[in-house]
C-alpha cells in the first residue's frame, strides 16, 4: 500500500504483517479475525508516487516473500496521512 504524506507531498511504500489482537490467543477476536499492522512507514519516502510503486515491485515484494509471506498488492488507492504524529494503521480481515 502507499502512504501519502500530504504535509511533505511524499509517498511511502508500506506493508502489513499479521499481528495478533491484544489479550489471550484463544480470545474470540483471535479466532474469528486476523489483525494486520502496518510497517515500513518510517522512511524518507518518494517525491514521485510512481517511484514509490516501483520500489514495491522492485524490492519490497522480494523482502516480504523472504520472510514467508505471500504479497497481495493494494496500490490503486493511497492511505492519506496529514504528516502529523505516527501514521500507524491496522487492518482487520475475517479469518477464512
- Phi and psi angles of residue 51, each rounded to the nearest 5 degrees, phi first: -65, -35
Question: First-to-last CA distance in the chain?
Answer: 22
Residue 38, SS3 per DSSP = strand
The answer to whether 17 and 37 are in contact (CB under 8 A) is: yes
Give residue 81's pLDDT: 93
Domain ranges of the chain: 2-94
CB neighbour list of residue 42: distance below 8 Å, 6 or more residues apart: none
The pTM assigned to this predicted structure is 0.74
- Phi and psi angles of residue 52, each rounded to the nearest 5 degrees, phi first: -65, -45
Each residue of 23-64: pLDDT tens digit?
777 777 777 888 888 887 677 899 999 999 988 888 878 888
Amino acid at each position: 500500500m502507499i502512504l501519502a504524506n500530504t504535509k511533505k507531498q511524499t509517498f511511502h511504500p508500506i506493508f502489513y504483517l499479521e499481528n495478533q489482537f491484544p489479550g489471550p490467543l484463544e480470545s474470540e477476536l483471535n479466532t474469528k479475525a486476523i489483525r494486520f499492522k502496518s510497517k515500513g512507514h518510517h522512511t524518507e519516502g518518494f517525491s514521485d508516487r510512481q517511484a514509490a510503486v516501483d520500489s514495491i515491485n522492485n524490492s519490497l515484494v522480494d523482502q516480504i516473500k523472504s520472510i514467508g509471506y505471500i504479497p497481495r498488492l493494494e496500490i490503486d488507492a493511497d492511505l492519506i496521512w496529514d504528516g502529523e504524529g505516527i501514521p500507524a494503521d491496522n487492518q482487520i480481515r475475517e479469518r477464512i
